[in-house]
């Protein structure tokens, strides 16, 4: 009878050890799965962040290009105006120089 009790205790201890090992293995598997899921979430987060960054950058570039157009148009108009003014002054200067050359030369 005592032998049976001891045998029962040993069997129970063996089952308990098997349960403990099984629980440890399950715990390691759960932790590994959680780490893989966390790594995947990080990868997804980085990919989403990169996509959002590209989207924001493209929108900012487009906005900047739209903002530049009126500035370029004003600059082109200013250049044309300056060139027209310079041509007018150049013609007046040429005329004035020609008049002085003719007067100093004596052939009026």
- What is the arithmetic mean of pLDDT over 24-39? 97
**Stated length of the chain:** 108
pLDDT of residue 36: 97
Task: Decide: helix, strand or coil at residue 1.
Answer: coil
Distance of alpha carbon 10 from alpha carbon 4, whole angstroms = 10
The token duo for 38 is 């966390």
pLDDT of residue 106: 57
pTM: 0.51
pLDDT > 90 in the chain, percent: 67
- What is the arithmetic mean of pLDDT over 56-79? 95
More confident residue, 3 or 13: 13
- What is the arithmetic mean of pLDDT over 60-65? 95
Per-residue pLDDT at 98 exceeds 90? no
């Amino acid at each position: 009878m005592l032998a049976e009790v001891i045998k029962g205790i040993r069997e129970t201890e063996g089952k308990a050890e098997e349960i403990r090992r099984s629980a440890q293995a399950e715990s390691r598997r759960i932790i590994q799965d959680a780490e893989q899921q966390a790594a995947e979430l990080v990868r997804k987060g980085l990919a989403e962040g990169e996509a959002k960054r590209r989207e924001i950058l493209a929108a900012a570039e487009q906005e900047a290009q739209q903002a530049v157009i009126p500035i370029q148009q004003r600059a082109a108009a200013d250049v044309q105006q300056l060139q027209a003014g310079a041509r007018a002054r150049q013609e007046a200067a040429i005329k004035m120089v020609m008049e002085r050359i003719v007067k100093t030369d004596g052939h009026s």
